[in-house]
Structure 1
Amino acid sequence: MIVRKNISIDQCYIDKLKPFLDKNNGNLSAAIRDSIEAASQVLDEKKKEKGEKDSRSALKTIELRNKMVEDEEFLLIHHTMLEWFIKKTSGLLLEEATVYELINPYTIKKIPNFVNYVNVLNDRMGWKIKVGAEYAEPEPGTLILTLSNGNPCFRGVVAQSLALYLAKQMKMDVQGLFNRSNATKIYFKRFEFLNYEKIPKGFEEHFGSMESTFREIQKRPEFWKNLVKTYRQQNYQRLSMNKKVFEAFVSGDLPSVDDMGREFELLAGKPPETFTLAEHIMIFKELYLTDSIGSDIEVCTEKGREYVKLIHDYSDRKVCERVIQYYSNIFRSIGHPFTVTSSPHMIVFEFGKNLSPSHISEPGLAGAESELSFTP
């Protein structure tokens, strides 16, 4: 089918068509047809060359992977099995030596080189993960690393490997971690190492939530197996408390406010005065659920409306009084004024200013409910 079109063309293009015009005795239509045919042949040849080049590159990559498998440097594993392994070891940290098998710390010192190397490594290994970085030159104080595409489970392992390398070799600790179905984003901030043998706090928090727990299980496996077995058999209806606290309860006494303050500092790692009230409440929640003295807890950390509700199963009057005294001493030790209200199976601590001083030592439960207040 012949298509007729009116076209406008500059003289410079007519000049370029001169060889084709000469060949066709000045016939412009024929010259244009010949030029299109010639261009089409060139494009086809380019595509063929590119295809052959890609084929050679793919073949070279396959040969490289096969050699790595033959040399036992790499191992073929089904992706389903790999996903299972990664999921079951979630929260455990990779060892530095393992990461350095992938990235040589003696040759990769700068972030641009790091990103380029990792992307080349991804292509070579067929991981299908693309790594991008956002940072300021020359010595970035912050860094955003984005890993996109690839298997989500394996992408998590790669993310941890890169984060560990950046933490140890470039002093960039993890400040935030966000996972989506097709991308993982890690936020870093520069810091100074105090101890190179330790894992940076941010990195461990975001990638190693189960690391310390697993180390303890490895140290005393029989103890932890028996403990878990006992808790499960008794449906977690057991107490877990400090020996000194237990001794105080048995002797009919309670730990002093000073003792509770020292115990809090030991638990939190910092003195009570370094925490806000909201932080105190969240630490207390963790302590309460760990002790298992009560059955549940409800907290509010909204400024000006802070409260803690302790739910318990005790009905004996004296037991309830002792529990109130015990937890009141804990809150006294953190130095924030509060009132305490009790009712059957519930104790409520409310925090606020302008509370009148009151001593909580031997409270009585007048009727169904009582209220006391304390100001440090």
Structure 2
Amino acid sequence: MIVTRHISLDNDCIDKMEPYVEKHKGNFSAAIREIIDRAGSCSSRMNSSAIDSSLFKWVLTEVDGILVPDSVLDELIDPALIGSMRRLEEYLRRRFSELEWDIEFALKSDNDTLPSDVLVEIKGNAQKIKFVACILSQYLVKNSPEHASLEIRSVNNFSDCMKVELSRSTRNEAHRSLITFFGGMDDVIKAIKSRPDFWRAVINGHLLSNYSMVTVHRNYFEDLLANKIPLGEITIETLAKKPIQDIPLKEMLSLIKEVYETSRVADRVEIDRESMILFHNYRNKDVVEKLKKSLVTLLEANGHLYDAKSTANMIVLTHRPDVGIKINEIVSNLKISNSRVDQDLIMFMAFLKGLKNIPDIPLSLTLLGRRIGKSLMQEYERENNIKNWELQDFQKALEIIDSRLHRESEWRLDGRNLIYTVRKCNIVAEGSTFDTYVCHTIRETFKGAMGYAFGNKAELEVKKLLSHGDNFCEVVIRVP
């Protein structure tokens, strides 16, 4: 039965009804019905939601760091209220008054309908105001229009007061800020709930082993099984959301600490400015050596050269920018066609011997060789506009590199295999320590070039080496 009544409303009531009238395209009766339905639903919830105060405090503690589901948020605060900051503030004042939470609330903005800056001030019980700040921040981020998304810029928390500042940004940045300030545990809880059996087993394993389990990326584990030096750059790049060479050194060290400690590869990692100490309890010296080289290579991929010393239970890494600068200088010189590689290497060796605390000169030469190979391949790639490397391109590039390294070589293409033979190397005379180091450096130049062109896809098989008593070097390159 429909009953018709005449009612009178003041302007304040009409303003509060405006979002509902707009939602129903001017149908005043439909707007009134929705308001009555929501009021009844709200009343029903209030009458049935009274819980013991100690239980309520526990609930507030447990939801810290977890965002309210969107469906619950929509029931709690009408999304239509986002159209007016004034009406939203009035509604929230009334709502918290009905709940008897003893909260003082203020919402300030530079514009009522499409604000660029919003300031939320909440006073009251510490647990309650944090929960309210989370709900309201989530509401503003979720419901603000995409072209005027509100990002949380700062959260200032005092004993009985919390202030949240928001300003316009992109949708992605706005959502990221919500996770940063209020939803730190949200993804964790969702992941555990999505695969409870898996996470229960993982957690039980760590607990039963007193956190002696190691959890690493599949590629890291694959490199271990293949007897390669594992890097772990995939995990670090995923966390940083950018390529490893674009990560600032300070952030890189923090990410290494996070990844190595949480994966339990290391017991503890300490950072002192640009130096790092990794504590471990590995007993096998070969394992410690592989871990040390892994860290040095990882940091070198980030663009920084480090010394590494190992003791019984720690690895100490010291930044050596002076060596890195010298390597960059040599690589730049090698791009000049008339550059004498042997003279550059002699100068570099003299430079290394003049430094203190360089425990592993061959390691520095390894990094020099890799950077030479990579740099020359980048130059060839740029000059010849190469998008995807093929074996033929690699052969032509290496012929140019060989001319700069004063080597006589030949190539044979056998299907997807490239057979590379060095017949003569003018700057290596068998016998001296220096020549051994030079030979090592040139081999690493080849590996650096191959790694740049093909990444992990190519395989290298060494057939013969001059240093093993043969009268020529020969390797086979296989590309799938």
Same topology, TM > 0.5: yes
The reply to whether residue 283 of structure 1 matches residue 255 of structure 2 is yes
Aligned position for 1:30: none
Aligned position for 1:221: 196
Count of aligned positions: 291
The reply to whether residue 71 of structure 1 matches residue 44 of structure 2 is yes
Shift of 1:111: 2.4
345-354 vs 157-166, greater mean Cα deviation: 345-354
Q: Deviations over 1:45-78 (max 9, x none)?
A: xxxxxxxxxxxxxxxxxxxxxx878734541111
Shift of 1:326: 1.6
Q: Write the letter of the residue equivalent to 2:98.
A: R
Q: Deviations over 1:119-169 (max 9, x none)?
A: 2322233221112244434654333211101x3222222111110111122
Query: What SS does the corresponding residue of 2:61 show, helix, strand or coil?
Result: helix
| Equivalent residue in structure 1 for 2:168, among 181, 186, 190 | 190
Aligned position for 1:152: 126
Q: Write the letter of the residue equivalent to 2:290.
A: R
- Asked if the contact 1:342–1:370 (Cα under 8 Å) also holds between the matched residues in 2, the reply is no
- Asked if the contact 1:173–1:188 (Cα under 8 Å) also holds between the matched residues in 2, the reply is yes
Aligned position for 1:15: none
Aligned position for 2:439: none
Q: Structure 1 CA distance, aligned partners of 2:233 and 2:66? A: 32
Aligned position for 1:342: 310
Aligned position for 1:326: 294
Query: What SS does the corresponding residue of 1:85 show, helix, strand or coil?
Result: helix
**Structure 1 pair 194–68 and aligned structure 2 pair: CA distance change class (3 A):** closer
Q: Structure 2 CA distance, aligned partners of 1:71 and 1:168? A: 26
Q: Structure 2 CA distance, aligned partners of 1:136 and 1:70? A: 33
**Structure 1 pair 251–217 and aligned structure 2 pair: CA distance change class (3 A):** same
Query: What SS does the corresponding residue of 2:79 show, helix, strand or coil?
Result: coil
Q: Deviations over 1:284-327 (max 9, x none)?
A: 11111122112111013xxxx41111011123221111111122
**Structure 1 pair 70–134 and aligned structure 2 pair: CA distance change class (3 A):** closer
Q: Structure 2 CA distance, aligned partners of 1:87 and 1:107? A: 28
Q: Structure 2 CA distance, aligned partners of 1:134 and 1:73? A: 28
Query: What SS does the corresponding residue of 2:310 show, helix, strand or coil?
Result: strand
Aligned position for 2:217: 242
Q: Structure 2 CA distance, aligned partners of 1:182 and 1:208? A: 21
Shift of 1:209: 0.9
Unpaired segments ≥5 residues, structure 1: 1-66, 360-368
| Equivalent residue in structure 2 for 1:179, among 152, 157, 166 | 157
- Asked if the contact 2:154–2:164 (Cα under 8 Å) also holds between the matched residues in 1, the reply is yes
Q: Write the letter of the residue equivalent to 1:109.
A: G
Q: Structure 1 CA distance, aligned partners of 2:100 and 2:320? A: 59
Q: Structure 1 CA distance, aligned partners of 2:82 and 2:185? A: 30
203-212 vs 68-77, greater mean Cα deviation: 68-77
Alignment of 1:45-194 (within 5 A): 71-74=44-47, 75-137=49-111, 140-149=115-124, 151-170=125-144, 171-193=149-171
Shift of 1:221: 0.7
Query: What SS does the corresponding residue of 2:64 show, helix, strand or coil?
Result: coil
Q: Write the letter of the residue equivalent to 2:97.
A: D
What is the TM-score with the length of structure 2 in the denominator? Answer: 0.55
| Equivalent residue in structure 1 for 2:270, among 298, 310, 322 | 298
Aligned position for 1:268: 240
Q: Write the letter of the residue equivalent to 1:330.
A: L
**Structure 1 pair 230–263 and aligned structure 2 pair: CA distance change class (3 A):** closer
Q: Structure 2 CA distance, aligned partners of 1:192 and 1:79? A: 40
| Equivalent residue in structure 2 for 1:310, among 278, 281, 286 | 278
- Asked if the contact 1:96–1:164 (Cα under 8 Å) also holds between the matched residues in 2, the reply is no
**Structure 1 pair 353–326 and aligned structure 2 pair: CA distance change class (3 A):** closer
Q: Write the letter of the residue equivalent to 2:202.
A: L
- Asked if the contact 1:306–1:352 (Cα under 8 Å) also holds between the matched residues in 2, the reply is no
Aligned position for 1:28: none
Shift of 1:226: 1.6
- Asked if the contact 1:231–1:238 (Cα under 8 Å) also holds between the matched residues in 2, the reply is yes
Q: Deviations over 1:15-40 (max 9, x none)?
A: xxxxxxxxxxxxxxxxxxxxxxxxxx
Aligned position for 1:366: none
Q: Structure 2 CA distance, aligned partners of 1:112 and 1:294? A: 54
**Structure 1 pair 313–142 and aligned structure 2 pair: CA distance change class (3 A):** same
Aligned position for 2:176: 201
Query: What SS does the corresponding residue of 1:278 show, helix, strand or coil?
Result: helix
Structure with more contact order per residue of length (Cα contacts < 8 Å, sep ≥ 6): 1
Q: Write the letter of the residue equivalent to 1:77.
A: I
Query: What SS does the corresponding residue of 1:106 show, helix, strand or coil?
Result: helix
Which of these two proteins has the greater Rg computed from alpha carbons? 1
- Asked if the contact 1:261–1:334 (Cα under 8 Å) also holds between the matched residues in 2, the reply is no
**Structure 1 pair 166–320 and aligned structure 2 pair: CA distance change class (3 A):** same
CA RMSD of aligned residues (A): 2.9
Query: What SS does the corresponding residue of 1:71 show, helix, strand or coil?
Result: helix
Q: Structure 1 CA distance, aligned partners of 2:79 and 2:277? A: 52
Higher helix share: 2
| Equivalent residue in structure 2 for 1:230, among 205, 208, 231 | 205
Shift of 1:252: 1.8
**Structure 1 pair 183–343 and aligned structure 2 pair: CA distance change class (3 A):** same
Unpaired segments ≥5 residues, structure 2: 1-39, 328-344, 349-357, 372-480
Q: Structure 2 CA distance, aligned partners of 1:104 and 1:329? A: 54
Query: What SS does the corresponding residue of 1:350 show, helix, strand or coil?
Result: strand
Q: Percent identity?
A: 22
Q: Write the letter of the residue equivalent to 1:147.
A: I
